[in-house]
Each structure stands twice: as structure tokens, then as C-alpha cells.
Amino acid sequence: MGKMQMTEERRKQQNKIKRVGVIGGGQLAWMMADAAKKLGVDLIIQTSHKDDPAVSIAKDIVLAEIDDYQATTKLANSCNVITFENEFINIDELSFLAEKDVIFRPSLSVLKPLLDKYEQLCYLQDLGLPVPNFWEWGKEIEPLSFPLVLKARRHGYDGQGTFIVKDIESLQSQGNSEFFIQEFVPFDREVAVIAARGVAGEVKIYPVVETQQQNQVCRRVFVPDENWELGEKIEAIAHSLLNSLEVVGVLGIEMFITQDKKVLINEIAPRTHNSGHYTLDACQTSQFEQHLRAVCGLPLGSTALKARGAVMVNLLGYEFGKKNYLTKQQQLASIPNASIWWYGKTESRPGRKLGHVTVLLDQENSETMGREAKAIADQIENIWHS
């Protein structure tokens, strides 16, 4: 029996995934570094720029555009499995690799209904999940009521490709078939949740968080969301989505909470997500480790908080230029219980995410903790914008 157990153990070790290919070299791939080291995994990065953040932590680099099929073929030959840092891919061409037994996690069948944001909402609607009203470009809208939201179907991120239009002239001048129209939701709050599913169907869901946006870019994240009574409903939505898609990996799910306490899904990101960066410091298992665990076929980790709460503030660029903002980083680091994550990007521009700050909170009273979180967020932003 001992020999049989040893043989089985060796077989498992031989089959263990050791090299993970990542399509995309931005900060999301860069933040996988600590988790990869902990799990004994090498990251092979496909990215188009040699100064992208993840280049510094990669075991190897495939320097090419994200949607370069030949480059991804090279990537596949140097790793055991391929995952994604962004959605700027050509799924039709990647399908040829999948037919040759290249393993993608999440699979291309998971990504297919999610990459086009109009098709994503159609998919969610077909599942019976709650979404805002939306219309394909060119379809008649009755009644036509402004404001409306104009969204790019593909390649929109960090507020790019999303416009709030207030009249028919703006709608006609800005829109075309590459966009779709969504109703403007006068929400009470925006929330988000990170959810993960493993190879065997194991599901782990992180705390629901409140997010605050600036020009459609995430500005602040408060952990956990104070509105507890909607937590079960949001978790049920996450479970339904993960299991319907049969996801392997992490999803970021952004939602609106309306003034009458309805939950509407705004967008799904089939990858690690900015709203989950707090997990690096505040959770037993970060979203990045969780994603790699799922991708590598390992058991998922605990999503429990290390403290009673946390606040995360994105350091958004406010000027064009090349600076490391070292003095401001040092000032931010002096805040008690603060962790500074600086992405090492060489250029700043307005709205670009240059880093983030997470501060752990340990107030027992939720109202007191909420006030403290907002005060700390204000303090971080005052330092950053001074």
C-alpha cells in the first residue's frame, strides 16, 4: 500500500502545473508575482511592451501584441496552461489552439459570451439574472428618455468607451455599430464582488464591497459593503453565474443597488479585477493567489478577512508626465496600517491607475468603521492630490 501511495503522489507531482502563461502584462499580471512564488509557479507573459509592469516579474517573455495568434502559439509551447489578464484577445484565432489541446483557463467557451458587452448582457438576461434595460445600436427605443449610457461593445476599460449622453444630438454624433445603449440607472450605490470557481466546481466568494467611481474609473473601495441584507442575493447571483458558465478562475462582478434596493448587474470581468485589490492585504487568500490556484487545479483558499474591514483607494494619474511621486509614496506609507502598491508604470496620464493604497480597519461598530474608512480615503486623496 505504501508503494502504491508513493506512486500516486509522484504521479500528482508530475502532473502539477508549474508554468502558467498569462496574456497581458499590466498590473493585474504583475500582482500575481507573490502568489506564483508561494505556489511554486513560473509566469510566462505575453505582452507588447517591454516596460509593462509584469515584465519585471516574469520567468520569460513573449514580446508581441495581445491578439497575436502566432505569439500565443509560442506561449502555449512554453507553459502548461494559459490564462488572461485582459479581454483584448482574438477568440476565433485562439480556438485553433484550443482544438490542439492547449488549455485555457477560463476556457474560451466561458469568454465567448462575455467579451462583447452587449452579448454579455444578452447572456445574463437569458440566464434570468437582473440587468439594466439595454438596446443594440440602431434599434428603436420607446420611450426615448435621457440621460442614456453609450458603451463600446469591445475593448472598453477604466472608463474608456463609456459615455453618458444627455440628448439625441450627442447620441447620434458619438454612437455607431461598435456601441450599444444602456439605460442610465439612478443607483443608490455601486457594489462589486470577486468570485472564484475551481476545476472540480468548488466556489469561493469574497465579501461584497462598495465601490465609488470617478469618470467611470474605480476611485475607492470600502470593505465590506455596509448593506448586509443584500449580501445573500448578490452571492446567489455570483453562484448562478459561475456554475452556468462553468468558470475556472476568478470573475469580477460589478452591480448597481437601486434606490428601491434592487440589484442589477452592470458588467462582468472574466479575470482578476480592480475592486478586489484589497484582498492582497485584507484577505487570507488574495484574488491573485485564488486565480492561480484555480488555474493550476489546486484547492481554493479561504476568502476570510484578516481584519474587520478595509478601505482601498486607487492612485489615479492627474497629469501627463514621467514621475515616480516618491515623496507622496512616502507620505502615504506613514498612514497607520497602510500598504502601498506602486505599479512601476513609466508614464502618468489623467485617470491612469498608477498604484493603490489599502488600509486595514478594526473598529467593532460598523458605523464608526464606515466613518473612519471615509476619513482615511479623504486623507489618502488629499496627500495624493496635494
User: The domain that contains 217 carries what CATH number?
Assistant: 3.30.470.20
Query: In the numeric block, which cell numbers belong to residue 110?
Result: 466561458
Q: Distance between CA 28 and CA 280 in Å, rounded?
A: 12
- Asked, for residue 36, whether it belongs to a domain, the answer is yes
Burial (CB count within 10 angstroms: exposed 0-12, middle 13-18, buried 19+), residue 176: exposed
What's the pTM?
Answer: 0.93
- Asked, for residue 10, whether it belongs to a domain, the answer is no
Residue 79 sits in the same domain as residue 159? no
Q: Which of 306, 331, 346 is the last residue of a domain?
A: 306
- Asked, for residue 113, whether it belongs to a domain, the answer is no
Domain containing 277 equals 185-306
C-beta separation of 203 from 241 below 8 A: no
Amino acid 217: pLDDT: 87
Q: Which of 306, 328, 350 is the last residue of a domain?
A: 306
Residue 258 sits in the same domain as residue 205? yes
Residue 193 sits in the same domain as residue 150? no
Q: Over its length of 386 residues, how does the chain's per-residue pLDDT go in tens digits?
A: 344 443 444 344 345 899 999 999 999 999 999 999 999 999 999 999 999 999 999 999 999 999 999 999 999 999 999 999 998 899 999 999 999 999 999 999 999 999 999 999 999 999 999 999 999 998 989 888 999 999 999 987 766 789 999 999 999 999 999 999 999 999 999 999 999 999 999 999 999 999 999 888 899 999 998 766 788 899 999 999 999 999 999 999 999 999 999 999 999 999 999 999 999 999 999 999 999 999 999 999 999 999 999 999 999 999 998 888 999 999 999 999 999 999 999 889 988 999 999 999 998 888 888 899 999 999 999 999 98
CATH of the domain at 147: 3.30.1490.20
Measure Cα distances from 84 to 182, 237, 250 in Å.
Answer: 27, 23, 10
Residue 189 sits in the same domain as residue 272? yes
- Asked, for residue 338, whether it belongs to a domain, the answer is yes
- Asked, for residue 112, whether it belongs to a domain, the answer is no
C-beta separation of 317 from 354 below 8 A: yes
What three-state secondary structure class fits 19?
strand
- Asked, for residue 6, whether it belongs to a domain, the answer is no
CATH of the domain at 71: 3.40.50.20
Measure Cα distances from 290 to 98, 195, 249 in Å.
Answer: 24, 9, 8
- Show the CA angle centred on residue 30, arms to residues 12 and 353, nearest 5°: 145
Per-residue pLDDT tens over the stretch 113-143:
999 999 999 999 999 999 999 999 989 898 8
Instruction: Domain count for the chain, please give it.
Output: 4
What type of residue sits at position 130? Answer: P
Query: H or E element: which one contains 295?
Result: helix 287-295
End-to-end CA distance of the chain: 68
C-beta separation of 70 from 260 below 8 A: no
Cis bond before residue 106 (omega within 30° of 0): yes
Amino acid 11: pLDDT: 42
Residue 45 sits in the same domain as residue 149? no
Query: H or E element: which one contains 8?
Result: helix 2-15
- Asked, for residue 152, whether it belongs to a domain, the answer is yes
